[in-house]
Chains A and B, each alone.
Chain A
Amino acid sequence: MKNYDIIIIGGGPAGLAAAISAYDNGSRDILILEREPVLGGILNQCIHNGFGLTRFKESLTGPEYAYRFVEEVRSRGIEYMCDTTVLEVSTDKQVTAINSTKGVFSLSAKAIILAMGCRERSRGALNIAGARPAGIYSAGTAQKYVNILGQMPGKRVVILGSGDIGLIMARRMTLEGAKVLAVCEIMPHSSGLKRNIVQCLDDYGIPLYLSHTIVKIEGKDRVSGVYIAQVDEKRRPIEGTEKYFECDTVLFSVGLIPENELSKGAGVSLSPATKGPIVYDDRETSVSGIFACGNVLHVHDLVDFVSEEAEIAGVSASNYAMGKGADRRVVSTTCGNNVSYVLPQMLDTNASGMVKLYFRVNKVLPNPTIRLTSNGEDIVVKKKKIAVPGEMESIVLTPAKLQSISGDVVVSVEE
């Protein structure tokens, strides 16, 4: 069985950035395994721009953003294998994979980086009543048909969920000549980025129905229409508020779920809040030598943050493979008021560099005060103009601040 220092599972933005940072940290024996025929991951079908504003201070398309990292990987001569699906990862860091040339084969590694990304929640998960005809797609599937295969999934479209892919697809389908009749969001606020609401819906006159959901899908062979209705505070449809839209297509953009089937097989502990692994600030999971980054860890709003996080995992995995163990003094991070999750879940207060804590709020909070406390003591307090669930928030902790932490930390956001 061939042995590597580091095996990275997934050649999307997370895997690529992790590979580059591991290499730059001194590791040479690195392998990226990618199931698609080319590197780049889901970015390859995201042909809209707006990627890289934070990292590169310019607006790139998804493929352009990915290409920059692919070039960096190639110029370093980092090994990668495409068209290769990982079937299993074990606790002792053996990887079983399959492809057309090698068949089923096993490899082992000193360190593994999980970078498998996420998948879309499906219609079935929502138990939406009605028929099951053709014309019902998740937004990402529709994106693949349109952007990769050049095929139109439909002409008259209703979208459920205001996730970013749904918003992007509302614009994309419109540009391709389809009529997008409505975007329904069950919550009283959008789950997507503000800029996408403006640039993808408002600019094209596409109505956004907040606190609305689809209550019934009709159609025999192909979708023929949907009923939407307003929902109450408990997200139950309110009778008498139904509206009918004649359409041939329904797109679902109702959330992303980190794809952790391999992680579970490896015995990695998962967080019910993020649906991703529980990690230290260096992105090591509960299994020694297995690291995680990107959307497999928690669903990010911007790919720029995926790259940033993956670099942490890459360096950590590289150090681990070189036998540089961390002597940690660990506290856990927990959610206070109005916070749905905090990542990392475990914090090494001995860390020598800056540590960034990511978190999300669970409702729209104007003029919020963000507070990080430990044993009732304020460690960080900062003000913001607004915090929304669709956008990730962060707090940076300096080594000095870290040292001042005396016990488990709580992140809360108050109005």
Chain B
Amino acid sequence: MFDVIVVGGGVIGATILRELTKYRLKVAMVEKESDVAMGQSRANSGIVHAGYDAKEGTLKAKFNLLGNLMMPAYTQELGVKYINNGSIVVAYSPDEIDTLYELKSRGEKNGVEGLEVIDTETLRALEPNISPDACGALLAKTGGIVCPYELTIASIGNAMDNGASLYTDYEVCEIVKGVDYFIVKSIDGRELSTKIIINSAGIGSGDISKMAGDDTVHISGRKGEYILLDRESQGYCTHTIFKTPTSKGKGILISPTVDGNILLGPTAQEVDVPDTDTTSTGLDYVKQTADSMCVRVPHYNTITSFAGVRAYSDTHDFVISHSDKVEGLINVAGIESPGLTSAPAIAKYVVEELVSALLPLVENTDFDGRRQSDHYYSKLDNDSKNKIIAQDPRYGKIICRCEQITEGEIVSVIRRNPRATTIDAVKRRLRAGMGRCQGGFCQPQVAQILARELGIPLEEVTKSGKNSRLIVGKTK
């Protein structure tokens, strides 16, 4: 019997799971995919929002600000890349300037510091590639960027190092409510029992809540398509550049990523079925909008495009509460933007305020919140690298030439928490296959390393779990 099961291995579930391990609780996470961070936490903008967007008084406004303040220390402890690059909201016509002042005033009411409306000249000095149509901007100095799946993986890995269990490929199909416990069943017949369920199942959180007996959580999906440019474009812009928001939302942004790429997107398309296919109209729209925001957008450096589905609630605010209908069920649903920013603050609130109301919290004095970055090796100086290579020669063998990732690093992420068992899982942890050749050279080698380390035949290695096998059999 677990004290708490967290359903859903996105960034919200991840930060909650880690927060839970700070107390003497028996906790687990169930995730329907073969790896964590497979939903919206793998495909979003990666922005640490300053907090001027959400209306004052909303949960979004509250957790955005708190999360923004927590993020630098939180990421540092977990060895996760975070850059305080600052955000700018650009007015592309004089009548949008008023909106900038409205945003500034709203941000200040929310408690955001460092907001400043800047003129065109200052803007151009900050971002030389801004469109000639730009006529002013709101600069938010506390805006930042983080890698959403790196944060998710690191939080879960650290939670596991502190005693949490992870069940992957665990697609919940039924939840049976006992007197003071639940049985959480998966489609492949596994069963786990728990006193408390935390529902952070993203796009599936409406379904999970319903399975537990609460049909009041209504979640819809909004697809966002992105284009990613090669690191060769690093420096094209340094701030996260937004258009002035309209009633339709924040629109397309242009932003550096923590890894030095440039990200364009997202679109916002309501979808009934949460598929992550890109569309030619969506990608064209991203390109055209980017071209209207900035000049000389280096589209020729495109290395990939992708889509994510953001789950939102019909309340248009975060749903973070005890279920009114089912005791022991905590819903953390509809966590759309600024959900990534808010995650550490939401996690703290959920555990300290909501879980504590159901279970006594006793501090886990063994808790160690530090985690070595999956990227630590590449940051070492040559002498330190050579000491490691002398012990383990695999750290001298480059497998991914574009990102210069060694066999030793790949073996390490296959072995450490949360274990990488697929090509894409290795890629998300190390960037092997994420460079300009997109795995063209290294994929067969990564597949061979996975097969060897997992003790499975090469035919069983998958791209991202389930039936996504790379090869269909031997040659004649």
Contacts and interface: CB of A to CB of B under 8 A. Distances in A.
B278 A129 contact: yes
Contact of B441 (A99, A100, A119, A176): A119
A242 B255 CA distance: 35
A395 interface: no
Interface string B57-90: 0000000000000000000000000000000000
B386 A104 contact: yes
B393 A101 contact: yes
A130 B440 CA distance: 19
Contact of A127 (B302, B382, B459, B467): B302
B113 to A, nearest CB: 39
A155 interface: yes
A222 B465 CA distance: 10
Interface stretch (A23-31, A138-146, A183-191, A333-341): A138-146
Contacts of A100: 389, 393-397
A149 B458 contact: yes
B227 interface: yes
A130 B472 contact: no
A217 B55 CA distance: 40
A127 B283 contact: yes
A275 B393 CA distance: 35
A132 B402 CA distance: 21
B470 A134 contact: yes
Given A103-B396, A124-B305, A221 B278 contact: no
A156 to B, nearest CB: 10
B interface, how many residues as a size bin?
35 or more
A21 B389 CA distance: 35
A152 B458 CA distance: 11
Contacts of A148: 444
A125 B302 contact: yes
Contacts of A248: 472
A133 B468 contact: yes
A131 B463 CA distance: 13
B190 interface: no
Contacts of A261: 402
B303 A125 contact: yes
Given A122-B304, A152-B471, A222-B469, A101 B440 contact: no
Contacts of B464: 134, 221
B167 interface: no
Interface in A215-243: 215-216, 218, 220-222, 237
A155 B476 CA distance: 12
B280 interface: yes
Contact of B475 (A130, A132, A150): A150
Interface string B398-439: 100110101000000000000000000000000000001111
B385 A103 contact: yes
A210 interface: no
Contacts, number: 143
A138 B440 contact: yes
A321 B448 CA distance: 42
A274 interface: no
A122 B437 contact: yes
Interface in A60-98: 83, 85, 87, 98
A152 B227 CA distance: 31
A149 to B, nearest CB: 6
B473 interface: yes
Nearest to B471: A151
Contacts of A140: 440
Nearest to B465: A221
Contacts of A87: 404
B438 A130 contact: no
A177 interface: yes
B440 A152 contact: no
A330 to B, nearest CB: 29
Nearest to A150: B475
Contacts of A101: 393, 396
A151 B474 contact: yes
B452 interface: no
A124 B467 contact: no
Contact of A122 (B303, B465, B476): B303
A363 interface: no
Contacts of B459: 151
B306 interface: yes
A218 B402 CA distance: 28
Of the candidates A129, A134, A151, the one having the most CB atoms from chain B within 10 angstroms of its own CB is A134
A131 B471 contact: no
A137 B440 CA distance: 7
A131 B276 contact: yes
A120 interface: yes
B401 A150 contact: no
A155 B280 contact: no
A153 interface: yes
Given A101-B393, A150-B474, A120 B398 contact: no
B471 A215 contact: no
Nearest to A149: B444
A131 B469 contact: no
B430 to A, nearest CB: 16
A221 B38 CA distance: 13
B471 A103 contact: no
B306 A132 contact: yes
A129 B303 CA distance: 13
A129 B401 CA distance: 27
A299 to B, nearest CB: 15
A35 interface: yes
A153 B470 contact: yes
Contacts of B438: 122-124, 138
B275 interface: yes
B395 to A, nearest CB: 8
A163 interface: no
B390 interface: yes
B471 A98 contact: no
B279 interface: yes
Interface in B355-406: 382, 385-386, 389-390, 393-398, 401-402, 404, 406
B226 to A, nearest CB: 11
Contacts of A153: 470-472
A12 interface: no
A122 B440 CA distance: 7
A134 B473 contact: no
Given A35-B398, A85-B398, A119-B441, 12 more contacts: A103-B386, A103-B390, A104-B386, A124-B228, A125-B302, A131-B276, A149-B448, A151-B458, A151-B459, A152-B475, A216-B277, A237-B280
Interface of B: 227-228, 275-280, 282-283, 302-306, 382, 385-386, 389-390, 393-398, 401-402, 404, 406, 436-441, 443-444, 448, 458-459, 462-476
* Closest 7 A/B residue pairs (Cβ): A124-B304, A103-B386, A100-B393, A122-B438, A100-B396, A134-B463, A134-B468
23 contacts: A85-B401, A101-B393, A103-B386, A103-B389, A119-B441, A122-B437, A122-B438, A124-B228, A129-B277, A130-B277, A132-B276, A133-B468, A140-B440, A141-B443, A146-B475, A150-B475, A151-B458, A151-B471, A151-B475, A154-B471, A221-B463, A221-B466, A261-B402
